Every structure is written in structure tokens, then in C-alpha cells.
Structure 1
Amino acid sequence: MNRFYASMLALLLALFTLSAMAADVPLGAGDALKISVFGNPDLSLDTKISEAGNITFPLIGDVAISGLSSAEAEKKISGLLTGGGFLRKAEVNIMVTELQSQQVSVLGQVIRPGRYPINGARSVTDMLAIAGGVGPEGGDTATVVRTRDGQTNKQVINLVEMIQSSDMHSNLDLMNGDMVYVDRAPKFYIYGEVQHPGGYRLERNMSVTQALSIGGGLTPRGTERGLRIKRRDSSGTVQMIDVKSGIELQPDDVVYVKESLF
């Protein structure tokens, strides 16, 4: 098989697969359609559904098909053609070539945030891959907002734990109107007598010793004695915590390194 026929076969298979997946999905604005009427090539049409939910079809004019399935739209156009006396029998076929009306929003700390069309079932990891993956400021978790049977619910997924455990039960299936939001990674802050004071990504189970290393270590005047952590409690009150062996940092902790007196 030469390249031309191979590429044509691949294109036809892709269009067939898309139409099969879209068969039961309601059509909507932006969807691209290829419409044909058996035995009437002059009525063939490549078109997109307008924002008003209509297409303009030869002989019968504007036809509202938004919200209909492909089969329902075929039946409606066929009825208008025969009911209007244009054809005795109209066998209409609709192939969906681009499904733009079904979209999922992927927002937050991803490489390419935006709204993406879905062709059939898509999971959270599918949509993250389409959006370029989690960005450098992204955290381990994603918040998924879904509406099912008129009820909107929110679920937080720990992406790292899901992948490391190979337990994909929380890799939810997504539908039109769903949203995935990748949270920003938590940070800690270090200042005082360290080489590189500033804010840094907080890794899980991070110790103060690790934080000092990320900050470049102590300056010649710095000391590990009397290290303090500023931490806000659940009420928002700032507490000063003396650093003890084994203490782990929490999001937004501020580590203060004192100057040595000697």
C-alpha cells in the first residue's frame, strides 16, 4: 500500500472513530459536520453549527440542531426535505469531523491552561497531557469539579500518590463542562543568615536541615542554635516555634536563622 492510500485510510479511520464516539453526544455550537444525502451529491455539505445552534442546509434553509444527537439531526433534516416536497425519500448521513461543543477546562499550574474539546471519554490524566502537563510551579494535587445529574461536586486528587501506587480509581472520567485545576505547590520561606534567602518549593516531609541546604547553607555569621519557625495556626495567629530535632516544615512556614554572637 503506497503512502497516499495509507494516509487516506488513516484519515477515514480517524473520522469514523470520532463520529462513533460522538454518535450519542448532543451536537452544539462550533461542531464541524459533513452531511450527505444518498443519491443527491448536490446536497452534500461541510459546515459548522453556528453560535445560535443552526446550520444552513440547501433547499430548506436554517435548521436548528444544537442539542440533538447526530441520529436525531439526520431524522430532522430528512423530514424537512421530504415534508417540503423536495425529495420523496431522504437518507441523510451526518459525520462529525470536529467536536468543539464538548469541552473541559484545564486551569491553574499547567503548561497550556485553557478549554479543550473532548472526543468521547477523557480522564484527568488525559486532559493534563493535552494541556502540556503540570508546570514547574505545580503541586502534587489537582482539584476536579464535575456536574452530574444536576449536582456539582469537587474532588481533590493527589496525582503523585495515584501514579506511584498505580491505583487509578481517582483518575476520574470527564465530560463537557468539567474543570481540572492544578494547585500551586506549597512553599516555605527562609531568611536571616543564609546564603540565598527567599521562598522555595516545599517537598513532602521536608526537614529544617533540608531547608537550610536549599537556602545555600549558613553564612559565616549564621548559627543553627536558636533557629525559629514562624507558623500561622488555624486561626491565623502567628506562632514562634523553637526548632527541635525531627520537626517537619509546613506550608508557608518561615525559617529564621540567627546571627552567631561569637
Structure 2
Amino acid sequence: MLLLEKGIGGKSLLDIVKVVHLTKRIIPLFWGAFLSIFILFLPGRVWAIQNSYKVGIEDVLSITVWGEPELDKTVVVAQDGTINYPLLGNIAVAGYTVKEIDELITRLLAADYLVNPQVDVMVKEYRSQKVLVLGEVLHPGLYILTGPTSLLEIISRAGGVSDKVGNQVSILRSPVEERKIKDNEHASTSVEEKEAKSILIDLEELLKGRDLAKNIYLEPGDIVFLAGKKDTNISEQQVYISGRVQKPGAYEYQKGLTALNACIMAGGFDK
């Protein structure tokens, strides 16, 4: 049974508490070797995470100002996308990279309070950016993005594919609200609606290296669904959908079911 609830990204549509499948799963031997080599040699991976990660609601930041211990703080990004910081009050940070937050705090402190402040901002806990991985992987569930994360990486984090995996991966890109932060005074934001869309990818072509362009980077709120083989016996499996849909409840799992179709079965998104 798949259990889905609201909660991705604070406002988005789906979250997961528990996923239980009735069939045993085995990771093909080639999978671990392929992913290990592919991920290990991503250039500058560790250093790029902190610089490119966009901070979001519930993330925990560590802020250090050298020589000013009273300004060294650990702060949590509030539901309105702001942090409360000494001297500066509420500052909008959701949607900014760590580097941009560092530069912003440096500029604000230098304007009225300190001479040449040396600010260091780091993400202490990643909490805001999540994706849901379902279907024929070893460990379906909710995963937190800690930086740019590709489709193959998230499948690897989910334990790799099962022996019942088919050739199709569906990515449902949900209609979450995207914050666009204007030049800070100190919490000015605008919101842009994005329409839901489904992206279909041939997994076999991707794994064989024939179409690495399809190894796309995921976005917060994405739902990744790996369909099973056509001959997989799933007659006893069910999907339970709850949260921001019109008709929450239990539905019979159908062959080739995509995440988007599951939402449609439940009456579509609840406005």
C-alpha cells in the first residue's frame, strides 16, 4: 500500500509516510556499479552543493560573523521564508543560495553596523526541498535534496531499481508555488504559479548511456515513479492517496500507473 499525504515544500501536494510493497525486490548487479562510477566522478560535487543550493522553509542555517560572537547564530527559516537575525530583524532568504544570503547579510551589516564584516553562512540542516520516489525501487519514500540532484542519483539513493522494474520513469512536476525574492527590504516576495506536467523517460536508454540528456535534475516537489514490467503481478496492490486531492481514498493499482494518473484517479488537485 502506498500512503500519500500533503506536505512537500510546506504547501505542495504530496508527502509519504510509509510505502509497503507485497513483492520482494532485488537490485541488479549492474546498477550499483553503474551508479557508483557515475556519481563518484561528478566534478566539484561536494563544494557545489552549498553554493548552488537554494534555501527554503524549515532549513537550518549557521551564520558566523568573524570577531562578533554575539552575531553567531543558528536560525530556522520560518514559514514566510524569513529568518530573524540580530540588528537586522526579519530577512527574506527562501529562494536564495547560501552565497547570496552571505552577500546580503554582509551588505546589510556593512551599511549601518560594522566595518568590513566577514560573514560565513552554511546550511546546517537540509529540510525544505523534497522529492517523492515511488514504484520499482528498493526503498520508496520521501527524499531531501541537498543540492543539484539528478534522476539517476535519486534512484541510487532509493536503493536502486528492483528486479521488476520496467523501462519507463515518470516525473510529475507538481504545481507548487515558486517564490521569487526581490531585492530585500527585508522580506519582499512574489509568487509564481507553475502548472503540473508529466515527464516520461526511457530508463533502459538512460542506463545504457544512449540518452544521458534525460538524466535531468529534479526540482523540489517532484514525484518520481518507476513503472514495473508489464507482466508484474500487482493485482493485490493498492494505492492510498490523501491530502490535496478531490477524492482521497484507496484505489486499485493499475499496470503502468503514473503519479499524474494517480492524482487524476483521485479527482485531481484540490484547489
TM-score normalised by length of structure 1: 0.54
Relative to 1, partners in 2 of residues 1:59 and 1:155: Cα closer, same or farther, differing over 3 Å?
Answer: closer
Q: How much has 1:106 moved relative to structure 2?
A: 1.3
**Unaligned regions of 5+ residues in structure 1, if any?**
1-15, 190-197, 201-250, 253-262
Which residue number in structure 2 is paired with residue 101 of structure 1?
128
Which residue number in structure 2 is paired with residue 187 of structure 1?
231
Q: How much has 1:152 moved relative to structure 2?
A: 5.2
For residue 41 of structure 1, the aligned residue among 51, 56, 69 is 69
Identity of aligned residues (%): 29
Q: How much has 1:92 moved relative to structure 2?
A: 1.9
For residue 160 of structure 1, the aligned residue among 204, 223, 237 is 204
Which residue number in structure 1 is paired with residue 219 of structure 2?
175
Alignment of 1:239-250 (within 5 A): none
C-alpha root-mean-square deviation of aligned residues, in Å? 3.7
Letter in 2 for 1:174: L
Count of paired positions: 178
**Unaligned regions of 5+ residues in structure 2, if any?**
1-43, 175-191, 237-254, 257-271
Letter in 1 for 2:135: G
For the Cα contact (< 8 Å) 2:53–2:148, is it kept in 1? no
For the Cα contact (< 8 Å) 1:18–1:96, is it kept in 2? no
Q: How much has 1:159 moved relative to structure 2?
A: 2.2
SS of 1:21's equivalent in the other structure is: helix
**Which structure is higher in RCO with an 8 Å CA cutoff and minimum separation 6?**
2
1:156-215 CA distances to partner (integer Å, 9 max, x unpaired)? 2232344346543433332333331112332378xxxxxxxx979xxxxxxxxxxxxxxx
Q: Matched residues in 1 for 2:53 and 2:94: separation?
A: 11
Q: Matched residues in 1 for 2:125 and 2:119: separation?
A: 19
For the Cα contact (< 8 Å) 2:53–2:146, is it kept in 1? no
Relative to 1, partners in 2 of residues 1:185 and 1:167: Cα closer, same or farther, differing over 3 Å?
Answer: same
Alignment of 1:58-207 (within 5 A): 58-83=86-111, 85-135=112-162, 138-146=165-173, 153-164=197-208, 167-187=211-231
Letter in 2 for 1:22: Q
1:88-122 CA distances to partner (integer Å, 9 max, x unpaired)? 44332212233333332212333332332223332
Which residue number in structure 1 is paired with residue 18 of structure 2?
none
Which residue number in structure 1 is paired with residue 266 of structure 2?
none
Q: How much has 1:82 moved relative to structure 2?
A: 4.3
Q: Matched residues in 2 for 1:76 and 1:164: separation?
A: 44
Letter in 2 for 1:34: S
Runs of 4+ in 1 over 6 A off after TM superposition: none
Q: Matched residues in 1 for 2:208 and 2:54: separation?
A: 37
Q: How much has 1:128 moved relative to structure 2?
A: 1.0
1:190-248 CA distances to partner (integer Å, 9 max, x unpaired)? xxxxxxxx979xxxxxxxxxxxxxxxxxxxxxxxxxxxxxxxxxxxxxxxxxxxxxxxx
Choose 1 or 2 for highest CA Rg. Answer: 1
1:121-148 CA distances to partner (integer Å, 9 max, x unpaired)? 322221111112234654332112348x
Q: How much has 1:68 moved relative to structure 2?
A: 2.3
Q: Matched residues in 1 for 2:119 and 2:147: separation?
A: 23
